[in-house]
Amino acid sequence: MGGDHGPHVTVPSAVEYALDDPEIDVILVGIPAAIEAELHALNKPLGTRIRMHAASEVVGMDEPPALALRNKKDSSMRVAINLVKSGEAQACISAGNTGALLATSRFVLKTIPGIDRPALAVVLPTITGHTYILDLGANVNCTAEHLLQFGMMGATLVASVENKKSPSIGLLNIGEEDIKGNEVVKQAAELLRESGLNFYGNIEGDDIYKGTTDVVVCDGFVGNVALKTSEGVAQMLATFLRQEFKRNFLTRFAGLVALPVINAFKRRVDHRQYNGASLLGLRGIVIKSHGSADKQAFSAAIKRAAEEVRGGMLRHISEHIAELQHHVKKNKLNSVTAE
């Protein structure tokens, strides 16, 4: 039900996705009348592949997460996450209130053993392809161990959905040298180096978009600022480019000639194709779509969920966290033996 546009975007997007991908069945969760109205408009009856699950409440976009968690036990968000917990659904996709989705997912699904906190991960375009960055705001105060867990989860996500054997991990810092950064980052670098993961080392902000590593690890404060700053730069550059093409008759003509190129460029950097942040570390797959997502963007978020289910991501994270803990224990034993 959520998102800025409500079921008017999510229902047609989900229905179309299900029609395109025969492996995926859709359960539409929310106020029945609202969902039925959308289905009626689409002329799509409910069936086995497109089902509905009623919920009587909706979490507001600005509602405090703690209140939503406490008071709205029958919200579409809560009911959808319950379906993941019961195994009736293999993933939940929501365009609703991020804080409420995080709090509710964590409360209902719990974290995977060995993971302290869930993290938000997204895909970003790079000069050479794309990269995964986490955390993006779920955790504003992180320890070195949290950053290590983010690295492991990010690497597992990439391995699962991209079928990449040993994804490289970069630690976002303010310089490449080991001595750079604050204490948490320095300790995290040590933990990552000893983790058995494919740790590239420290990277800087520009490395995100150079595609230096498959995974970029940072705390949620830094990640959120980096992401929003990126959006700001892109918007500013787009505005400037538009202004320059609209300056006078000649530049407008040039803009007309260059239009197919500009459009190809726009398609390439269209952020809708990157919509869908994964909540990693939970005992279930939950994808957060941007609140303002349109049909195409919401469809990208559903695709992300489908890829994580097909890639067996949950199982892989559980396995890898066990391996990691084993590795860390062995390392500790070794260092004891060496003393």
- Where do contacts with its own copies occur on this chain (CB under 8 A)? 125-127, 137, 140-141, 172, 174, 181-183, 185, 204-210, 218, 220-222, 224-237, 239-241, 244-245, 247, 250-251, 253-255, 257-258, 260-262, 264-265, 268-269
| Least gap, CB of 150 to its own copies (angstroms) | 15
Q: Find tokens 């609703």 and name the residue.
A: 96
280-310 CB burial, b ≥16 within 10 A, e <16: bbbbbbbbbbbeebebebbbbbbbbbbbbbe
The tokens for 141 are 């105060």
| Least gap, CB of 48 to its own copies (angstroms) | 41
The tokens for 339 are 């003393």
| Least gap, CB of 121 to its own copies (angstroms) | 16
| Least gap, CB of 47 to its own copies (angstroms) | 41
| Least gap, CB of 204 to its own copies (angstroms) | 5
Number of H helices, E strands in the chain: 12, 10
The tokens for 223 are 């990640």
Q: CA–CA separation, 71 vs 177, rounded Å?
A: 49
- Residue 248 CA to its chain's centroid (Å): 42
Q: Of 136 and 155, which CB lies nearer to its own copies in the complex structure?
A: 136
Other CB atoms within a 10 A radius of the CB of residue 133 amount to 26
**Residue 170 · residue 254 · CB < 8 Å:** no
Q: Of 51 and 180, which CB lies nearer to its own copies in the complex structure?
A: 180
Q: Give the count of alpha carbons within 13 A of 66, CB side only.
A: 0
Q: Of 20 and 178, which CB lies nearer to its own copies in the complex structure?
A: 178
| Least gap, CB of 278 to its own copies (angstroms) | 18
Phi, psi of 161 (to 5 degrees): -95, -20
Contacts of 8 (CB under 8 A, 6+ apart): 38
Q: Of 261 and 336, which CB lies nearer to its own copies in the complex structure?
A: 261
Q: Of 234 and 322, which CB lies nearer to its own copies in the complex structure?
A: 234
Q: Of 99 and 154, which CB lies nearer to its own copies in the complex structure?
A: 99
For 21, the 3-state DSSP assignment is coil
Q: Of 165 and 268, which CB lies nearer to its own copies in the complex structure?
A: 268
| Least gap, CB of 223 to its own copies (angstroms) | 9
Alpha-carbon separation of residue 297 from 10, 126, 171, 188, 265 (angstroms): 10, 19, 29, 34, 18
